[in-house]
Amino acid sequence: MQHQIELDESARAPESTWDGVREIARDVAYKRLAIVNCVFCGFPGAGDRRWILIDTGMPGSAGAIARAAAHRFGPEARPYAIILTHGHVDHAGSALTLAERWDVPVFAHRLESNYLNGGERYPKPNPWAGGLMSLTSPLLSRGPIDLGDYLWLLPRDGTVPGMPGWRWILTAGHTRGHISLWRASDRLLIAGDAIVTTRQESVYNVATQSPEMHGPPMYFTDNWEEARQSVRLIDDLRPETVVTGHGRAMRGPVMQQALHELADRFDEVAVPHRPPLLRLS
């Protein structure tokens, strides 16, 4: 049985909250959309084309995202762009709807593009990874999503369009083109699913958001060697604050120690122990 790396309340990032939007820096906030988070980057009241949306939740999340964005940035404020950490349906499910609504490009890593241009489905999930969420994972769409002309590739030089001071870093493993976003000035990491701060395989943990440090969701992670290297890369950055695709934002020494333990014990605590040959169609 795998061990938990628990996070106590002291590790939670200080937040100010309105209508489910949690601000963790003056220009960074996130919103929980059922089982997943999206992130808003930009100062409140920034106005039209002066903010960025990172990830878009499941299909059907567009309305909730648009309402939150209108309150934070202004009623007619469209983003400069949408950035996807990766193309799984819980992160990219509303990307096309929002891209059409706002007429904005959707940026992703070039290794992820084939899942977002209608070309390829993701590998089958592993329902034996533990927990009810894993057992039901074959019901989730593997795509492909087709963003058409709205899909743009992130620049090769690591810069992030519309986000000065930020860099994208390849944190592959959960998917081959998965990225995280890093701002060195305040050591803030938007991690996507490279790490998560709740046990995403458990319905109870997903509902309660029990704070734990975890590797990527087990049922949809395909390359565990790359996932291990990505967690070690994140640990080497020594982030002060992390906001992940699932779970609450975390900050400070307790979070950093848990992240270091995850990197050190990755095979023990993050990798499912049942063989992927038992996957269902």
Q: What CATH number has the domain bearing residue 258? A: 3.60.15.10
Q: Does residue 4 sit within a domain?
A: no
Does this model's pTM top 0.95?
no
Beta strands across the sheet bearing 250-251 = 166-170, 179-183, 188-192, 241-244, 250-251
Number of domains composing the chain = 1
Q: Does residue 160 sit within a domain?
A: yes
CB atoms inside a 10 Å sphere around CB 175: 29
Q: Does residue 104 sit within a domain?
A: yes
CB atoms inside a 10 Å sphere around CB 116: 26
Distance CA 23, CA 28 (A): 6
Q: Is the pLDDT assigned to residue 110 strictly greater than 90?
A: yes
> Minimal CA–CA distance to 42: which of 91, 90, 81?
81
Q: Does residue 221 sit within a domain?
A: yes
- Model pLDDT for residues 120-166, shown as the tens digit of each residue: 999 887 666 665 555 555 656 677 899 999 999 999 999 999 999 99
Q: Does residue 150 sit within a domain?
A: yes
Host domain of residue 153:
9-278
Exposure b/e, 97-114, CB count within 10 A at least 16 = b? bbbeebebbbbbbebbbb
Strands (E), 2-157: 16-18, 21-25, 28-33, 36-41, 52-54, 81-83, 106-108, 151-153
What is the predicted pLDDT for the residue at 281? 37
- Model pLDDT for residues 190-205, shown as the tens digit of each residue: 999 999 998 654 444 5
